[in-house]
């Protein structure tokens, strides 16, 4: 077991476990969180062939559900981010990127992925501690062990449902670290739409964030809240088609299959290939 809070070259006892094209660090512990998390890394196809090149990084929440080569999804369906990214890289549609998936904490996911305590659910409120794990432990570890581009403009976050809420909260609270956000069907409803109220009350300068926001029209619980969030982002100065892209997927439901079908779209928006 590796302790993420102390990760360095001396503390890593062994190489990551290789699963297909993926590198897995199992049961990584943090000084900020009570639960260990699996971390899975997917390198771009040319990583070994271009030893001087550095790459942007996309961090993905709910890491059990996102890679085709990591058959651990409790739902039996993965997003296929690794497969989609490789195809788009080979087609020169997106730039080569490193993908890092962080597995969730199972039944305690709701606590780690939410910024406040929602008393109607008697849960939540550990998102800031999760963000500390990401900012002060995991990202520095990834930056040490892989050839990354480390700026906020080269570092993205992606998540769905509560993972989308977490992604937006982390982007707003750590914009100097994470500059690209993919919010898929975010749980805007949490704690009486707390995230929208926070945005509305904020009088600070709008952070430099490039945001993908989407929702399926078949998601009755999510649709109105996501539409409200979209309007609030526009009101706060984000520009449609420039640093904000909004999509309503016709008929799409709140599930892994629907999010996987939108993966290529948010990758194109956040990490377009350079001319």
Domain membership flag for residue 124 = yes
User: Which ranges in 134-189 belong to alpha helices (H)?
Assistant: 139-145, 162-173
Quote the distance between the C-alpha of residue 71 and its chain's center.
Answer: 19
Domain membership flag for residue 161 = yes
Domain membership flag for residue 102 = yes
Report the alpha-carbon distance of residue 209 to residue 154 in Å, rounded: 11
Residue pair 188/228 in contact (Cβ under 8 Å)? The answer is: yes
Residues spanned by the domain of 164: 4-270
Domain membership flag for residue 275 = no
Domain membership flag for residue 235 = yes
Report the alpha-carbon distance of residue 82 to residue 88 in Å, rounded: 10
- 11: Cα within 13 Å, side-chain hemisphere: 13
Residue pair 82/69 in contact (Cβ under 8 Å)? The answer is: yes
Domain membership flag for residue 54 = yes
Q: What domain count does the chain have?
A: 1
Instruction: Give the closest residue to 198 by CA, choosing from 114, 81, 110.
Output: 114
20 is written with which tokens? 């297909």
Domain membership flag for residue 193 = yes
How does pLDDT run along the chain (275 residues), one tens digit per residue?
A: 445 444 444 344 356 777 767 999 999 999 999 999 999 999 999 999 999 999 999 999 999 999 987 666 565 678 999 999 999 999 999 999 999 999 999 989 999 999 999 888 888 899 999 999 999 999 999 999 999 999 999 999 999 999 999 999 999 999 999 999 999 999 999 999 999 999 999 887 899 999 999 999 999 889 999 999 999 999 999 999 999 999 999 999 999 999 999 999 999 999 999 87
Task: Tell me the CATH number at 220.
Answer: 3.40.50.1820
């Amino acid at each position: 077991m590796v302790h993420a809070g102390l990760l360095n070259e001396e503390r890593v006892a062994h190489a990551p476990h290789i699963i297909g094209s993926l590198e897995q660090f199992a049961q990584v512990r943090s000084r900020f969180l009570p639960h260990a998390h699996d971390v899975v890394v997917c390198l771009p196809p040319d990583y070994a062939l271009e030893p001087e090149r550095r790459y942007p990084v996309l961090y993905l929440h709910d890491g059990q559900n996102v890679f085709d080569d990591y058959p651990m999804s409790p739902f039996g369906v993965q997003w296929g981010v690794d497969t989609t990214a490789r195809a788009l890289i080979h087609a020169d549609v997106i730039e080569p990127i490193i993908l890092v998936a962080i597995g969730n904490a199972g039944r305690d996911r709701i606590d780690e992925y939410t910024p406040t305590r929602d008393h109607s659910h008697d849960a939540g409120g550990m998102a800031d501690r999760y963000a500390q794990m990401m900012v002060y432990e995991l990202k520095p570890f990834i930056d040490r062990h892989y050839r990354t581009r480390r700026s906020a403009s080269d570092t993205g976050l992606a998540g769905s449902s509560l993972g989308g809420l977490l992604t937006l909260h982390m982007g707003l609270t750590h914009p100097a670290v994470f500059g690209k956000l993919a919010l898929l069907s975010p749980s805007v409803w949490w704690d009486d739409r707390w995230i929208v109220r926070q945005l509305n009350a904020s009088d600070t300068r709008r952070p430099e964030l490039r945001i993908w926001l989407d929702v399926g029209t078949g998601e009755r619980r999510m649709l109105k809240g996501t539409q409200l969030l979209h309007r609030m982002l526009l009101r706060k100065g984000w520009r449609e088609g420039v640093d904000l892209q909004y999509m309503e997927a016709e008929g799409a439901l709140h599930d892994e299959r629907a999010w996987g079908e939108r993966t290529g779209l948010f990758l194109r928006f956040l990490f377009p290939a350079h001319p």
